[in-house]
Copies of this chain bind each other. A is one copy, B any other.
Amino acid sequence: MDDLPLIEVEGFLLVSVQTDLHDELAQRLNQRICEHIARSGSRGVIIDISTVEILDTYMGRMLEIIAAASRLLGAQTMLVGMRPEVAMTLVELGMQLQGIHTALNLDRGLARMRELTAGS
């Protein structure tokens, strides 16, 4: 499966997830994000999941792992665009998405990320 494109927006790293994040694709995404942060000095990772219709515990766990690794490299992680039904399912599954900021959409996520990283 092709790697997801990583885009730079206002110095943040934007990843648009449009497919199931399973197994190797997820591991590889984590690795690429970490390497990108270390190379570019990006202070934030914004993950857009607006096209994701089903988010299971594996994928939720992968997002937590990406956020935890990014934090160790000094970057914040923001999840944007979650669908209402995905949010409800995640809560039913008991997933808290720890260490991950959330915003309704990309615009708000970018605005919040600017605040979070201001002066840092």
Contacts and interface: CB of A to CB of B under 8 A. Distances in A.
Interface residues of A, number: 41
Main secondary structure of the interface of A (DSSP, over half): helix
Contacts of A69: 84, 87-88, 90-91
Contacts of A105: 41, 74
B84 A38 contact: yes
A119 interface: yes
Interface in A10-33: 30-31
**Quick one: copies of this chain in the complex?**
2
Interface in A87-120: 87-88, 90-92, 96-97, 102-105, 108-109, 111-112, 115, 119-120
A6 interface: no
A52 interface: no
Given A68-B96, A72-B87, A74-B105, 17 more contacts: A30-B88, A31-B88, A37-B84, A38-B83, A41-B108, A69-B87, A70-B87, A71-B102, A72-B79, A72-B82, A72-B90, A72-B91, A72-B102, A73-B87, A74-B80, A74-B103, A112-B120
